[in-house]
Amino acid sequence: MKRNRINNNDGGMIFGFIILAVGVLILLRKLDVFYPDWLLSWPMILIGVGVITLVKHEFKSFFGIMMLGLGMYFLLEREFNFDFGVQRFIFPIALIFVGIYLITQKRKEQQALSDIQDKINSKSTPPVTSSEYSKTEDTSSFSSQASGGKSYAGMSGVSGTSYSDRVSIDSIMSGINKRMLTKDFQGGKLTAAFGGIDLDLTQSDFSGIVNLQVDVIFGAIKLVVPPHWDVRVEVTNIAAGVEDKRAYRQAEVDPDKVLVIRGTVFFGGLEIKSY
């Protein structure tokens, strides 16, 4: 199945090269070898985070683009004295881009909901006799409402309860709490930028291997998972904390339920718990 494939494009090699380059630059500085000071400036950290994130997400990450853009902007302005004349407009422009991104994501959710509803409506039903029409109509109506309600719950909003098989949450300067009730969890992505996400997976289930992408910058993500899941944390953390607070119960771990957590935690925190 598609979800059982592990994505090897996790940016680990890129991160290794970045660490290697930093080490070489520090060594050259100790040897009094000249090189531009901007190579070890803090905007380069943002650029590095952006590059790693984009590589991990196959250059389709809003978080990676944002980090790369901010890094390039501050690098050019502070180190090369580029005057873009937009310094006082940076904050509102950033809010505009974030708003456009959230609207686009909402439209994608609505389109997905519409596609699901079309598939439900397009299902053909066998003809029924007039004596059975009333009963069949009531049953079909109830079934359609139940199916539609489940699909809508899975797609609507980001807080509360969801029946969706995949999770996609972007918490930007906000806090989001969500509980997943699906029995066919297929992973997804979480992005917390200057915000927080609490995701409860204790009522969810799956079989095989699923991937969950997490990106954190000046924020926090808390995951609550069932104690029998095999959770493997493979995130890149930069000036951040990654805490696995699950109780150690090796005898109860199910080898057929492997959750692989990948991503980048930058000046933030990732906490994993179980009860």
Q: What are 57-94's pLDDT values in tens digits?
A: 677 777 778 788 888 888 888 778 777 666 677 778 77
pLDDT of residue 148: 41
What tens digit of pLDDT does each residue of 202-254 get?
999 999 999 998 988 888 999 999 988 999 998 887 777 888 888 766 567 88
Whether the model pTM is above 0.75: no
- pLDDT category, 134, cuts 50, 70, 90? very low
pLDDT of residue 149: 39
What tens digit of pLDDT does each residue of 157-201 get?
456 888 889 998 888 778 899 999 999 999 998 988 888 999 999
Quick one: what percent of the chain has pLDDT higher than 70? 69
- pLDDT category, 29, cuts 50, 70, 90? confident
Distances (CA, A) of 270 to 43, 217, 219, 261: 23, 11, 9, 10
- pLDDT at residue 53 above 70? yes
What tens digit of pLDDT does each residue of 102-132 get?
677 666 656 665 665 666 667 555 554 444 4
- pLDDT category, 150, cuts 50, 70, 90? very low
Other beta carbons within 10 Å of 63: 27
pLDDT of residue 155: 38
